Amino acid sequence: MNKRKIPSIVVLTGAGISAESGIKTFRASDGLWEEHRIEDVASPEGFARDPETVHRFYNLRREHLLSSEIQPNAAHYALAELENALTKLEQDLPDKTLSNYTLVTQNIDDLHERSGSDLVSGNNLLHIHGELLKIRCSQSAQIFPCYEATSPLSVCSCCQQTGNLRPHVVWFGEMPLYMDKIYQALETCDLFMAIGTSGNVYPAAGFFEVAKSSGAHTVELNLEPSINGSKFDEQIYGTASEIVPDYVNTLLKEL
Ligand code: NAD
């Protein structure tokens, strides 16, 4: 039996990891997301004011995500490889429920899933800001897969009403998902990696501090220094498709 300690790793990804896959980052242009004011398309108030525009905005994002030009890049694949390697090591441990790897993404795209992350455990990948390919009934909170365009006239399959369906996306002013599980992982991890995130959106922007105060080594991998970049133990700057595979290869050699 392998008694080696497997490092516990938490990875946080942001819009930057999907930039080279063709999905624009959030802050590519000031206060706008794909030419829309953020408060109009990413807040409960914006949705209440103009649900048709918000549905249309997410329909376009969904259609774009599902188009053949959008594919995972080398950074997504490298993280899937890291997870697979850790899973193989874990299989030698007596306690097989132990999870040593948590991938927290702020992204609502499905490029981590498509690159093969979370294939084995089915619960290592946490979309804290929701998922573009899901829709939710605002009355029952039931969540459904969604690959088609929706509108305020779409009929919800649980309550059979129109007007109750909304994107399964966490908007400004709403509570991010899976917070208990994430803090548990942060408090016990040995390594925390933040990839392609500007550090503007809390609580995700504060995760590195929780990990660091629990004794983890913290690494920022980004195109440029984020707001808190200098506070990480290690900084690596460049495009995600280059620096993430390089960093993962180094880790794999150490495992
Ligand atoms: P952000 O747009 O605020 O920051 C993106 C960061 O990525 C920047 O620091 C930028 O320098 C870096 N970056 C850009 N291109 C890169 C590359 N090729 N390689 C490495 N880094 C690169 O994004 P955020 O911090 O994730 O926060 C914004 C919010 O926007 C999130 O809550 C998310 O839900 C939402 N969002 C998601 C998507 C998506 O699902 N792909 C896209 C846009 C916005």
Per residue in 43-67, pLDDT (tens digit) is 999 999 999 999 999 999 999 999 9
pTM value is 0.94
pLDDT of residue 137: 97
CB 25 less than 6 A from any atom of ligand 1? yes
Instruction: Please tell me the number of Cα atoms within 13 Å of 131 on its side-chain side.
Output: 17
pLDDT of residue 99: 58
C-alpha of residue 169 to centroid of ligand 1, in Å: 16
Spans in the chain with pLDDT lower than 50 = 1-3, 97
Q: What are phi and psi of 111, to 5 degrees?
A: -75, -25
pLDDT of residue 94: 63
Which amino acid is it at 14?
G
154 DSSP assignment? P
76-87 per-position pLDDT tens digit: 999 999 999 988
Q: What are phi and psi of 169, to 5 degrees?
A: -130, 135
Mutate to test the pocket of ligand 1, among 24, 26, 172, 175 (most ligand atoms within 8 A of CB): 26
pLDDT of residue 30: 57
Please state whether the peptide bond connecting residue 245 to the residue before it is cis, i.e. omega within 30 degrees of 0: no
Angle between helices 240-254 and 74-90 (to 10 degrees): 20
* Residue 168 bears catalytic tag: no
3-state helix, strand and coil shares in percent for the chain, rounded to the nearest 5: 35, 20, 45
State percent of the chain over pLDDT 90. 80
126 DSSP assignment? E
Q: Take atom 2 of ligand 1 and give the residue whose Cα is closest.
A: 26
State percent of the chain over pLDDT 70. 93
CB 107 less than 6 A from any atom of ligand 1? yes
221 DSSP assignment? E
pLDDT of residue 2: 43
